[in-house]
């Protein structure tokens, strides 16, 4: 019988149902045919048994399909992780080699400079010895004594001549000693000047070397951050595709009959080889799409590496074309379904929008609304978060405009300007300089009129300032019943431009406003004295800014949605310092953490914990490079001891655990198995 022919008969079990023979898909077809034949023959009980059995087989088939998909997804993730680890190792090898090469070249230049300095000093000393006379010129006094000596000798006054001769010899010795001392001092001064010049040159060279090393480390950190971000993008993209596939599988299992599922599964089984190829193509697509495995090759224009890169790209391109052909039909179907869904959504949205009446929105003015942010407790990462302020108070002052600028009497009435009675507001107001209006900006509101104080009937808020078309426009002050006070510019009945708001709790904000919201650049001080100065958006810290807490902590960096988000630097009052990436107010991404005692960690973080690949350097010279999880060494890592020993292998919960190699300082290797930091088995 051909494998594509359906069997015409099968053995029956004790319940008159065919006994399973062969694979599951073939048995489902036999059981389905049996159910239909029983239905035609009027054997309804037996048909019902077949139906129940088919329902059980449907669940088995669904579990089998889900298990296959899960295994394939795990395999894909492992391939991506393997590719990332390979690229990470290539990256580190490349940069280690590059930085070592830089250090060696720098040391070579330094040694050459020192040798040149020695040669210059020796040559300079020799030139000084030859250029400076070794015997001084005779002084006028000495020349006079010699002349006197000659005259006495001619007169045969030998006794006097001998005495003059003794004086001449003593004078010569004194002058020679003075000259020699002066000559040596001059030589020393010139040599000192040369040495100082050489020292300055050497210091400048050392500074250039240090700057070069720092630049290398900075570039390495930036490139590593890009590499890690690329890996995260690959993971997210793959997980998104896998989630969509699981969703489609669940939807298919609910909508398709068991026979449809059986035929689809049988088709997949017959094309298992194509599925394996498609799985490998999927991995290759992700590698090619995100450039995995090529980061280090691109940085080294070596002919052999360029040839390897061209071969890899050629294979990946072939895999991409094959996979694209296989997925074209599926993508076209999904695109059509998405377009239909979007059209239905747009129709619903149009109906909803058309059913909503147009309402003239009322004025929204600043008010205080304190929200305490949750704190994350950690011994070495303690932080003090400032209170987060928002100011919003609705005024029900919608009204019809009339020809004059003053508000209608049923909206606001004329009153006397109140005094500042809130002690906290009064204290802050007195501590600050008067609010400065911009003379050039004032000209913009020349057509506005200044009116006496008006109190809004619905809210009790009092406004003193300029108006236009029944709206607050221009310069003005506003008093809230709880004591909150605002002074600054207004436009279209709302705070716009520069302004200062002092809240009833003593906190205040001074800076840019947009439609009653803190937006732009501004300074905010909360009731505790914590300070934020930087960019704002919709009453939230957003952009570049700096925070200073009364505890002594400081942060300078990026914000988003009121939280530290992006690159920044946090310095704790105890001396701890972190510089790197933040995600939603938590240390997350790549960064460097330094302790006051000199310890440094550089690597990946997640939720305020060392998580991923990183490097930790201790003060005593120990160094660890490898994987971390929840602030502990976990996975594979290399620990270099200060005494010259090195451990390479597995780690768990911060200790050596699993297979590893211990290399002694003399080069002897110990291969074995560690358990909780102790060697338990030696191979």
- The DSSP annotation for 247-315 comes to HHHHHHHHHS-HHHHHHHHHHHHHTHHHHHHHHHHHHHHHHHHHTTT-HHHHT---HHHHHHHHHHHHH
Q: Please, which residues have CB within 8 angstroms of residue 178's CB and are 6 or more apart in sequence? A: 136
Do 329 and 336 form a contact (C-beta atoms < 8 A)? Answer: no
613 forms beta bridges with 627
Please name which of 636, 625, 570 lies closest in space to residue 601, comparing C-alpha atoms.
Answer: 625
- C-beta contacts of 540-544 below 8 A and 24+ residues apart: none
Please name which of 92, 15, 75 lies closest in space to residue 51, comparing C-alpha atoms.
Answer: 15
466 forms beta bridges with 450
Reported as a pLDDT band with limits 50, 70 and 90, residue 309 is low
pLDDT at 379: 37
pLDDT over threshold 70, residue 371: no
Instruction: Go through 579-614 and write b for each residue having 16 or more CB atoms within 10 A of its CB, e for each that does not.
Output: bbbbbebbbbbbbbbbeeeebebbbbbbebbbbbbb
Please name which of 316, 325, 328, 330 lies closest in space to residue 281, comparing C-alpha atoms.
Answer: 316
Better pLDDT: 623 or 262:
623
Do 534 and 557 form a contact (C-beta atoms < 8 A)? Answer: no
* DSSP class of 18: B
pLDDT over threshold 80, residue 340: no
pLDDT at 265: 58
- Record the tokens describing residue 321, joined without a space: 């074309």
CA angle at residue 50 from 47 to 55, to 5 degrees? 130
Better pLDDT: 231 or 22:
231
CA atoms of 512 and 497, how far apart (whole Å):
5
The position carrying tokens 């959504």 is 345
Instruction: Give the tens place of pLDDT for each residue, 163-205.
Output: 888 888 888 888 888 888 888 888 888 889 888 988 998 898 9
CA max distance for the chain: 172
Reported as a pLDDT band with limits 50, 70 and 90, residue 354 is very low
CA atoms of 292 and 222, how far apart (whole Å):
17
CA angle at residue 572 from 570 to 577, to 5 degrees? 55
Least confident segment among 24-33, 226-235, 472-481: 24-33
- Record the tokens describing residue 13, joined without a space: 């079990």
- Record the tokens describing residue 163, joined without a space: 């005495």
Do 396 and 458 form a contact (C-beta atoms < 8 A)? Answer: yes
528 — phi, psi (to 5°)?
A: -85, -10
Do 38 and 46 form a contact (C-beta atoms < 8 A)? Answer: yes
The position carrying tokens 């930091």 is 677
Reported as a pLDDT band with limits 50, 70 and 90, residue 22 is low
The position carrying tokens 């110990």 is 670
* Range with top average pLDDT, 48-57, 318-327, 336-345, 623-632: 623-632
Instruction: Give the tens place of pLDDT for each residue, 77-107.
Output: 888 888 888 888 898 899 999 989 999 999 9
Reported as a pLDDT band with limits 50, 70 and 90, residue 381 is very low
Other Cβ atoms closer than 10 A to 404: 11
Please name which of 525, 529, 521, 580 lies closest in space to residue 556, comparing C-alpha atoms.
Answer: 580
pLDDT at 285: 58
pLDDT at 614: 93
Q: Please, which residues have CB within 8 angstroms of residue 463's CB and are 6 or more apart in sequence? A: 412, 453, 454, 455, 456, 472, 476, 477, 478, 479
Which stretches of 403-516 are assigned E, i.e. beta strand? 412-414, 449-456, 462-468, 471-479, 485-491, 494-502, 508-514
CA atoms of 467 and 531, how far apart (whole Å):
34
* Range with top average pLDDT, 83-97, 289-303, 357-371, 528-542: 528-542
How far lies 446's CA from each of 88, 440, 442, 450, 475, in Å?
A: 65, 11, 7, 10, 10
Instruction: Give the tens place of pLDDT for each residue, 480-533.
Output: 999 999 999 999 989 999 999 999 999 999 999 999 999 999 999 999 999 999
CA atoms of 567 and 564, how far apart (whole Å):
8
Better pLDDT: 25 or 267:
25
- C-beta contacts of 299-308 below 8 A and 24+ residues apart: 299/94, 300/94
Instruction: Give the tens place of pLDDT for each residue, 551-581.
Output: 999 999 999 999 999 999 999 999 999 999 9
How many Cα atoms are found within 13 Å in the side-chain-facing hemisphere of 313? 12
CA atoms of 264 and 242, how far apart (whole Å):
19
Other Cβ atoms closer than 10 A to 270: 12
Reported as a pLDDT band with limits 50, 70 and 90, residue 29 is confident
Q: Please, which residues have CB within 8 angstroms of residue 229's CB and are 6 or more apart in sequence? A: none
Mean pLDDT of the chain: 79
CA atoms of 395 and 308, how far apart (whole Å):
70
Q: Please, which residues have CB within 8 angstroms of residue 534's CB and are 6 or more apart in sequence? A: 521, 522, 541, 543, 544, 545, 546, 559
């Amino acid at each position: 019988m051909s494998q594509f022919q359906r069997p015409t008969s099968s053995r029956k079990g004790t319940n008159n149902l065919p006994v399973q023979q062969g694979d599951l898909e073939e048995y489902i077809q036999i059981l389905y045919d049996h159910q239909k034949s029983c239905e035609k023959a009027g054997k309804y009980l037996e048909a019902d048994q077949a139906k129940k059995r088919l329902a059980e087989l449907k669940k088995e088939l669904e579990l089998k399909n889900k298990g296959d998909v899960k295994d394939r997804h795990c395999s894909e993730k492992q391939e991506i992780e393997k590719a990332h680890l390979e690229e990470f190792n290539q990256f580190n090898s490349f940069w280690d080699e590059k930085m070592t090469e830089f250090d060696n070249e720098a040391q070579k230049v330094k040694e050459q400079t020192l040798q040149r300095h020695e040669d210059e000093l020796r040559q300079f000393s020799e030139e000084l010895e030859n250029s400076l006379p070794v015997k001084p010129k005779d002084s006028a006094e000495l020349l006079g004594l010699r002349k006197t000596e000659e005259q006495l000798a001619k007169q045969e006054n030998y006794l006097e001549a001998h005495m003059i001769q003794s004086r001449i010899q003593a004078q010569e010795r004194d002058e020679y000693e003075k000259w020699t001392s002066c000559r040596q001092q001059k030589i020393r001064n010139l040599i000192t000047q040369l040495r100082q010049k050489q020292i300055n040159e050497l210091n400048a060279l050392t500074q250039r070397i240090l700057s070069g090393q720092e630049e290398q480390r900075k570039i390495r950190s930036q490139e590593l951050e890009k590499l890690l971000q690329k890996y995260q993008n690959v993971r997210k993209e793959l997980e998104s595709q896998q989630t969509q596939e699981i969703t489609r599988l669940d939807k298919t299992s609910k909508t398709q009959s068991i026979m449809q599922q059986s035929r689809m599964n049988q088709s997949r089984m017959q094309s298992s080889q194509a599925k394996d190829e498609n799985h490998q193509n999927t991995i290759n697509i992700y590698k090619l799409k995100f450039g995995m495995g090529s980061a280090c090759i691109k940085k080294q224009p070596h002919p052999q590496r360029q040839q390897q890169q061209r071969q890899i790209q050629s294979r990946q391109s072939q895999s991409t074309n094959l996979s694209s052909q296989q997925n074209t039909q599926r993508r076209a179907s999904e695109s059509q379904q998405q377009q239909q869904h979007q059209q239905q959504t747009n129709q619903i949205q149009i109906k909803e929008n058309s059913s909503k009446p147009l309402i003239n929105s009322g004025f929204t003015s600043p008010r205080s609304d304190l929200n305490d942010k949750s704190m994350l407790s950690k011994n070495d990462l303690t932080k003090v978060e400032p209170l987060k302020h928002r100011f919003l108070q609705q005024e029900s002052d919608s009204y019809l405009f009339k020809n004059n600028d003053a508000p209608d009497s049923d909206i606001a009435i004329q009153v006397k300007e109140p005094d500042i009675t809130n002690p906290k507001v009064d204290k802050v107001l007195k501590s600050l300089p008067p609010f400065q209006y911009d003379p050039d900006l004032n000209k913009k509101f020349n057509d506005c009129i200044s009116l006496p104080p008006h109190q809004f009937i619905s809210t009790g808020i009092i406004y003193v300032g300029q108006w236009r078309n029944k709206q607050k426009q221009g310069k003005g002050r506003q008093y809230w019943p709880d004591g909150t006070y605002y002074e600054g510019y207004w436009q279209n009945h709302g705070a716009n431009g520069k302004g200062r708001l002092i809240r009833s709790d003593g906190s205040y904000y001074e800076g840019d406003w947009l439609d009653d919201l803190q937006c732009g650049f501004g300074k905010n001080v909360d009731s505790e004295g914590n300070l934020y100065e930087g960019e704002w958006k919709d009453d939230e810290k957003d952009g570049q800014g700096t925070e200073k807490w009364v505890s002594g902590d400081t942060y300078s960096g990026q914000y988003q949605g009121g939280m530290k988000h992006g690159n920044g630097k946090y310095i704790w009052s105890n001396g701890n310092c972190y510089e790197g990436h933040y995600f939603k107010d938590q240390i997350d991404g790549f960064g460097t953490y330094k302790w006051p005692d000199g310890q440094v960690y550089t690597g990946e973080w997640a939720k305020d914990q060392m998580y991923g690949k990183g490097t930790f350097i201790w003060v005593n010279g120990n160094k660890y490079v490898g994987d971390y999880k929840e602030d502990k060494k976990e996975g594979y890592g290399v620990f270099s001891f200060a005494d010259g020993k090195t451990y390479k292998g597995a780690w768990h919960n911060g200790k050596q655990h699993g297979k590893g190699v211990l290399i002694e300082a003399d080069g002897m290797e110990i291969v074995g198995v560690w358990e909780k930091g102790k060697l338990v088995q030696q191979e």
